[in-house]
A and B are shown apart, each in its own frame.
Chain A
Amino acid sequence: MAEATSIIAGYYRDPQAFSDACAAATAAGHKPQAFTPYPIHGLEAKLGISRSLIGRPVLTVILIGFALGLFLCYFTQYQNWPLNVGGKPYFSWPTFVVVILETGLLLGALTNMGVALHMCRLLPDPHTKLINDRITDDTFALVLPLANRAEADSKSSWLKGHGAEEVQVLCVESPAAAVVEAAHV
């Protein structure tokens, strides 16, 4: 289904016009995807993107990390090999605070990285090619899926009517990612 993987991209230089077009495309039910060189605040609301929930796994892991740190201290200092240090109790919790805190936060930081990379689908890739190189520079791309070839003209004029400076029809491997191996149709 070559047609199912066709997309049309409208390019903008003006972030304001781009944001307005995103809102209009969402309202018109075009299922747009937006690509921007830098984050635009408020854009996610216009595109109907819900807020990121990646705080939850990270917080969970931090709490588990605290428990693990406590367990490490309890097991090594009290259970496995109790060592008398200056006649202090074997389980002297105030001396464990640093270990508990650092273990939890380190695991939290690693999880934060892992979850963020996973959610953004980031993996080392030596041949990344975006639909347009200027997306990481000064150009905003509003990408709409094309159900068939005939839709290209109507959506092209829709994009131009909503301020697109340039419109391009592309055939991509994966419409969801809309990135790799873009080729002109």
Chain B
Amino acid sequence: MTTLQSNDASEVKLTASQITDDITRPIFTKPPLLWHGAIAATQGLAGLLVIAIAFYVIEGYGIFGVNQPVNWGNDITTYIFWIGIAVAGTLVSSVLFLFRQQWRTAVNRSTEAMTVFAVQIAGLFPLIHTGRPWVDFWLMPYPNDRLLWPNLKSAIVWDVFALTAYATTSIIFWYYGLIPDFATVRDRATNKWQRMIYSVLAMGWRGNAKDWVHYERAYSQFAWIATPLVIGMHSTIAILAAVGKVPGWHATIFGPYFVSGAIFGGLAMALVFLIPMRSMLKLQLYITIDHLEKLAKVMLVCGLIVSYVYLMEYFAAWWSESTYERHQFLYRPLGNWWFAWWIMMTCNVVIPQLLWFKAIRRNLFALMGIAIAVNIGMWFERFVIISLSVMQDHLPSSWDASFSFRTFDWFILGGSFGLFFFFILGFVRVVPVISIAEIKSTLLKPHKNRDGHHG
């Protein structure tokens, strides 16, 4: 792909300096009023998270609506939701890179940012969930006073390892990809402080051909390392549920189910911010409708896998002849929380079928609507799996009576969205939202576009 496909597919000739200008413009211009408004709104929402955590530290875990037998309520549901968002970003940055999908260049930087922010937000929730977050370091294996070690045979401890490794790798991989772009910003900054800050961030990048050889080699190695890490990350969460002998969790299909569900929901989240971002930053030439359509296609495939698993779970419950499995799968659509299951089915199975139509895939309003629906559906999916499975345990007297969604549950759920979009809004003003060096090498191949960039 040497030429850009604009919305009407006409060929637009771009020069290297025009690409630099277009992508670094948000960094060097004053943000519009709308941006300030959005920052204030998301900051306010994120403040709810801070308030909830403060109350929780003072009052204890009782401020949330979880109670026996539902120990895994909103916090673990939201944790898995955000981890899923993160997974999709790594799919774009690593897996599509290894498959040499050049269209990923348009969106990889912003989806990687999504990964970095989502994984940090996700990481908050298990730390909250422990009940005494000030001793969360007990989760790490270190020689302590009582000569005890964490139980490494426990799936919970696996999750600590998986999340730590995945979050660390995502963050350094993202930063590594940014180094040449920070150098571009550094060399264009006129403000003294701006130049100094970006100079530190660029670590003295010079663009030496020798350095590019090492740089690109290490970049592809990062992709090779991040791919098993991301699959491991979400599979570990899946195993965490699957090793539990709880009807509704105890299924071997959980690994691929969770990974494809994560990509499904994560790409939907990517669309939710890419669609407004590309028009507000005027990047329609770089993030084209074709790119969004490709994301929608990947989303559709993952949605179909997820739909298959939904049906397969019912088949397995029937085929197993297990009373408890059958009870669980009838409880989901017919029990007290019936609406969670119906929202999940509508948003994840029915609505995404619209993506079969090209006209809908290329209609930004429709795409945005479907993406928002999928996000809602994916949160409810995790709620159905995690919480509904334990809603009715083997002691019928505790069924349904105890679990509720309280004010602080809403605070941490809404606050996590606020924090995420606050990060995204900050990101678009300080970091090049498209990999400048990568998109130049994709769009300006010397042998094909020889005269295309003299301006």
Knowing A55-B221, A81-B147, A99-B152, the reply to whether A126 touches B158 (Cβ < 8 A) is: no
Contacts of B150 in A (CB 8 A): 76
B30 within 8 A of A: no
Among B147, B151, B158, B176, contact of A116 (Cβ-Cβ < 8 Å): B176
B209 within 8 A of A: yes
Knowing A13-B453, A14-B454, the reply to whether A52 touches B152 (Cβ < 8 A) is: no
Asked if residues A105 and B441 are in contact (CB atoms below 8 Å), the reply is no
What distance in Å separates the Cβ of A65 from its nearest Cβ neighbour in chain B? 10
What distance in Å separates the Cβ of A107 from its nearest Cβ neighbour in chain B? 9
Asked if residues B213 and A49 are in contact (CB atoms below 8 Å), the reply is yes
* C-alpha gap A74/B436 in the complex (Å): 47
Interface size class of A (residues with CB under 8 A): 35 or more
Contacts of A51 in B (CB 8 A): 213, 217
Count of chain B residues near A, Cβ 8 A: 72
Asked if residues B232 and A101 are in contact (CB atoms below 8 Å), the reply is yes
B55 within 8 A of A: no
Among B17, B184, B201, B209, contact of A34 (Cβ-Cβ < 8 Å): B209
B31 within 8 A of A: no
Interface positions of B from 203 to 229, Cβ below 8 Å from A: 203-218, 221-222, 225-226, 228-229
B429 within 8 A of A: no
Asked if residues A98 and B180 are in contact (CB atoms below 8 Å), the reply is no
B13 within 8 A of A: no
A130 within 8 A of B: yes
Among B162, B200, B215, B232, contact of A120 (Cβ-Cβ < 8 Å): B215
* C-alpha gap A132/B395 in the complex (Å): 74
Knowing A52-B217, A102-B165, A126-B196, the reply to whether A38 touches B438 (Cβ < 8 A) is: yes
* C-alpha gap A36/B17 in the complex (Å): 13
* C-alpha gap A178/B196 in the complex (Å): 20
* C-alpha gap A38/B215 in the complex (Å): 11
Contacts of A39 in B (CB 8 A): 212, 215-216, 437, 441
A-B contact count (CB 8 A): 226
* C-alpha gap A52/B221 in the complex (Å): 12
Knowing A34-B209, A72-B152, A116-B176, the reply to whether A16 touches B16 (Cβ < 8 A) is: no
Contacts of B257 in A (CB 8 A): none
Contacts of B441 in A (CB 8 A): 38-41
**Segment from B375-383, B399-407, B413-421, B444-452 that makes contact with A:** B444-452
**Segment from A3-11, A135-143, A147-155, A156-164 that makes contact with B:** A135-143
* C-alpha gap A16/B454 in the complex (Å): 12
Asked if residues A120 and B214 are in contact (CB atoms below 8 Å), the reply is yes
What distance in Å separates the Cβ of A105 from its nearest Cβ neighbour in chain B? 5
Contacts of B332 in A (CB 8 A): none
Pairs across A and B, CB under 8 Å, 24 listed: A14-B454, A38-B437, A39-B216, A51-B217, A52-B214, A62-B225, A76-B149, A80-B149, A85-B151, A85-B153, A98-B162, A98-B232, A98-B239, A99-B161, A101-B228, A106-B169, A116-B218, A120-B208, A122-B204, A135-B206, A136-B180, A136-B186, A136-B188, A138-B15
Given contacts A58-B221, A124-B201, 10 further A-B contacts (CB under 8 A): A36-B212, A54-B217, A77-B153, A98-B161, A101-B228, A102-B162, A109-B169, A116-B176, A119-B211, A138-B15
